[in-house]
C-alpha cells in the first residue's frame, strides 16, 4: 500500500507539472506538535512455525476481460466492489485521470476523478501541488493544505483523519530517522505520534483507533519492530522484532497481519507469516509468493512459478489454522499478471489484474 501511494503521488505530480491551469488551494500550512507522553511498550512476541496444511482443489473460477487497448495501470476497487478503478489517458486530447468500469455492465470506462489518493469512502482526494499536499472535498471542491511538505498520506478508515511520515533524505536507509504524524483531514491538530529509524508508517487499523508502524527504536539496535500504537491511550504493543521484515498487510477488519521475514540467521523464521494484531497466533506459511487479504481470516497467495513460461495460480490460506486451498489451476485458468498488479475486491469475491499478455484489465471471479 505504501508503494502504491508513493506511485500515485508521483504520477499526480507529473500530471500537475504538465497542466497549464492549476486551482490555487486555500488555507496555509499548520505547525506540528509533539505529544507530552511517549508510547509505552509491551514485550515482543516471538513467532513460532506450525505444521503444513493439506491442499485441496476447488471448482474452476470465471475469468473475463474488462478493458481493451492495453490501457491500464494500478487497478483498484470502488467501496461497493461494483466498479474497477484505474489510471488512464485514453487519447492525447482527453484528460488523464482515474477511470471506472462497471464490472456487470458492458459500458465504456468513464472518468471518475483526478489522479490522487482517495479516502475509503471516496469523499476526499489528496494530491501534490508543488511542495504541498492538498486534500480536496470531491463534492464541494473545498481544499486544505496538509502540513507535511508535499508527502504522500493515508486516510483513516472513517475518512476523518490522515497520517504521514517525514523521512530523512540522506544516509543509509536502515539508519534514516522517520517521524510519523497524524492530523484531521483538513490539516488541523497535527501531531507527531512516533519516531523510528529505517522504517515508517504501515497503515491504519480499522475504526481508526490504532496505527501500525515498523522500524528500529534506536540506532543502537539492529532489529526492526512491527508495532501497534493505540491512539487513545498512547500505548504501543510490539508484535515482532527481526532485522529484515517487509510486505506488511492488514486484514480488512484488522484482526490479522501478514508479513515476510528474509535472510534471518535462523532459517526457521524466513518466509511469509500471519499473526493476530494483538500479538498472538503467529504462524509461518509453507508457501512463498505475492499475497493479499481476501477477508478478515483468509489470505490469498500467488506462489512463485516453477518457470517463467508457466501461468500463475491463486491459493487461499485460512489464518487461524493454516489450512491451504488451491483456488485456480494454471493449466485450466491461466493467470498472466504484469508486475504484481492485482487487487482483491472489498467483498473478497473477485480479483482484478493487469494481464501481461495484452496489458488489459481482466477479472477473476473466485470460487
Question: Measured between alpha carbons, how far is 270 from 244 in angstroms, rounded to an integer?
Answer: 9
Confidence of residue 59 (pLDDT cuts 50, 70, 90): low
Q: Which of 14-18, 306-310, 356-360 has the lowest mean pLDDT?
A: 14-18
Is residue 203 domain-resident?
yes
Is residue 364 domain-resident?
no
Confidence of residue 165 (pLDDT cuts 50, 70, 90): very high
Overall domain count for the chain: 1
Q: Which domain holds residue 46?
A: 2-53+73-286
How many residues are recorded in the chain? 367
Question: Whole-prediction pTM value?
Answer: 0.84
Is residue 104 domain-resident?
yes
Question: Measured between alpha carbons, how far is 156 from 182 in angstroms, rounded to an integer?
Answer: 10
Beta pairing partners, 301: 291, 315
CATH number of the domain residue 27 falls in: 2.130.10
Task: Return the sign of the alpha-carbon dihedral for residues 219, 225, 226, 229.
Answer: negative
Query: Rounded to the nearest 5 degrees, what angle is found at the Cα of 156, between the Cα atoms of 281 and 86?
Result: 100
Q: What is the pLDDT of residues 277-304, one digit of tens each?
A: 999 999 999 999 999 999 999 999 999 9
Is residue 296 domain-resident?
no
Is residue 282 domain-resident?
yes
Is residue 61 domain-resident?
no
Question: Measured between alpha carbons, how far is 238 from 207 in angstroms, rounded to an integer?
Answer: 20
Is residue 227 domain-resident?
yes
Query: With b meaning 16 or more CB within 10 Å and e meaning fewer, what string describes 148-162?
Result: bebbbbbbbbebebb
Is residue 102 domain-resident?
yes
Query: For residue 43, what is the DSSP state?
Result: P
- Mean pLDDT of the chain, nearest integer: 88
Amino acid at each position: 500500500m505504501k508503494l502504491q501511494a508513493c506511485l500515485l503521488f508521483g504520477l499526480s505530480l507529473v500530471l500537475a507539472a504538465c497542466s497549464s491551469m492549476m486551482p490555487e488551494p486555500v488555507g496555509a500550512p499548520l505547525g506540528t506538535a509533539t505529544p507530552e507522553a511517549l508510547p509505552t511498550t509491551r514485550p515482543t512476541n516471538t513467532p513460532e512455525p506450525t505444521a503444513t496444511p493439506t491442499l485441496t482443489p476447488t471448482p474452476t473460477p470465471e475469468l473475463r476481460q474488462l478493458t481493451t487497448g492495453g490501457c491500464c495501470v494500478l487497478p483498484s476497487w470502488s467501496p461497493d466492489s461494483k466498479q474497477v478503478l484505474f489510471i488512464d489517458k485514453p487519447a492525447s486530447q482527453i484528460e488523464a485521470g482515474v477511470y471506472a468500469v462497471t464490472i456487470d455492465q458492458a459500458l465504456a470506462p468513464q472518468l471518475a476523478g483526478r489522479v490522487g489518493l482517495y479516502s475509503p469512502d471516496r469523499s476526499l482526494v489528496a494530491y501534490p501541488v508543488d511542495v504541498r499536499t492538498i486534500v480536496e472535498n470531491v463534492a464541494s471542491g473545498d481544499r486544505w493544505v496538509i502540513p507535511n511538505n508535499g508527502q504522500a498520506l493515508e486516510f483513516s478508515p472513517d475518512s476523518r483523519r490522515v497520517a504521514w511520515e517525514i523521512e530523512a533524505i540522506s544516509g543509509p536507509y536502515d539508519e534514516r530517522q522517520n517521524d510519523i504524524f497524524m492530523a484531521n483531514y483538513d490539516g488541523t491538530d497535527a501531531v507527531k505520534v512516533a519516531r523510528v529509524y529505517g522504517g515508517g508508517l504501515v497503515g491504519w487499523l480499522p475504526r481508526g483507533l490504532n496505527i501500525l508502524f515498523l522500524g528500529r527504536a534506536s540506532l543502537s539496535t539492529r532489529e526492526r519492530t512491527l508495532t501497534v500504537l493505540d491512539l487513545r491511550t498512547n500505548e504501543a504493543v510490539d508484535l515482532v522484532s527481526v532485522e529484515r521484515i517487509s510486505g506488511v498487510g492488514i486484514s480488512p477488519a484488522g484482526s490479522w497481519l501478514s508479513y515476510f521475514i528474509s535472510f534471518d540467521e535462523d532459517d526457521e523464521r524466513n518466509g511469509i507469516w500471519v499473526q493476530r494484531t494483538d500479538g498472538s497466533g503467529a504462524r509461518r506459511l509453507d508457501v512463498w509468493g505475492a499475497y493479499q487479504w481476501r477477508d478478515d481470516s483468509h489470505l490469498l497467495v500467488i506462489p512463485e512459478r516453477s518457470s517463467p513460461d508457466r501461468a500463475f495460480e491463486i491459493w487461499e490460506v485460512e489464518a487461524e489454522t493454516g489450512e491451504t486451498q488451491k483456488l485456480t489451476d494454471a493449466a485450466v485458468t491461466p493467470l498472466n499478471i504484469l508486475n504484481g498488479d492485482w487487487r482483491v475486491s472489498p467483498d473478497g469475491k473477485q480479483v482484478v489484474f493487469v494481464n501481461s499478455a495484452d496489458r488489459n484489465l481482466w477479472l477473476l471471479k473466485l470460487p
